[in-house]
Structure 1
Amino acid sequence: PNSGAKVFQEPSTIEIPGSESVASADSIHLLDEDERQEQAVIRALLDFGLKMYHDQTVADYIIHELEENELTFNNKALENIFLQYKEMYASGRQPTAKDFLYLEDRDISSLVIQVMEVQTEISPRWQEMYNEKIPTREDMYIMEMETSIIYFKLRKVKRMIQENQREMEQASNDDDLLERVAIHQQLKQAEMLLSQSLGTVILK
């Protein structure tokens, strides 16, 4: 099937092509990157989910983006945290990390503690730039949340490119090959726009 790229210029609303299941990354390095990106999304959800993002909450935005773009977690425990958060939120509760620290499932509680550990060391260059007030995570939560979602989307696009490349190599006729080439071009365009949007978010 043709995976038409749905891409928008606005960094915080870039969508990526819909897809069926995409093969896992081959290298341990990519798997480690996946884990860090997945943890960043959960961290943003637990820390900032109840804060406002334009005319909605951060939780509304993250849940919508993950569902709209069919973004899933390789780490099933992180997926479980996301699903539990979504269920709590939909029921009218206002979940935070504390709601997960005292669960009967100690594995989930331990994972949340691990996820919430954030490197707080400040770069000397930042200290020079901000003599009196160094921005905190609270000050910069929108940037942290947006970048975590963009990286999550990039991960999916890169996997789709890998899968499409394999399909291209196995194309049985010219029509199949041309279709895969077109999909490759769409995916590379989506990858480029997402990469560009990272710079836009960081430089805001």
Structure 2
Amino acid sequence: YKITHICTYICCSCGVIINISIPIHHRHHHHHYPYHHHTHTKPITMSPLYSRSTFLQVLRDAEGQVTSLECRYDPSSLRGAAPTLMPKPKGIVQWLSPLSSSACELRIYDKLFTAVTPGTERSFLEDLNPRSLQVITNARVEDSVLQHVDFSMLRNQPAAFQFERVGYFSVDRDSEQGGRLVFNRVVTLKEGWKPE
């Protein structure tokens, strides 16, 4: 494979900048993503790019820090095509282009209490879930989402979106027109209740 095209992409949930080329190169500084799924023998799906890629080598700087992962993609695995060169992957990594995405804040709401019936065995205050709200300040969202947000209606009818493989989100009133959008997770894709 020779390099024919290079573009920059950003990890949609942690804001990590990567370079996509042919072969594909990931730029990844910390292990926010499950690269243990991306090995010589285990391909992953690169969404929305080429569907399947396999890991070739780790590239490091002079201090030994990982600067990129070099990968090979399956050109027969473009969306809508039936892949022929690589087995079906178990992992999916999603990326957004910095040229067609904007920074946003995600507020991930979880269960308010850690007990099924708060206050039964102890004070209900002791059953509060300390992780009931997680704020991600450096997330990315496709610019096309901005076209569907009517800022004049946020107080009465906030816009709602399904974020692929994450859940359903509504636009928070703290969002600013021409500024940063804030999204609240309303519900996950698979809702269930398990005690902490």
Is TM (by shorter chain) over 0.5? no
Q: Which has the higher contact order (CA 8 A, sep 6+)?
A: 1
**Structure with the higher strand share, 1 or 2:** 2
**Structure with the higher helix share, 1 or 2:** 1
TM-score, length of structure 2 as denominator length: 0.25
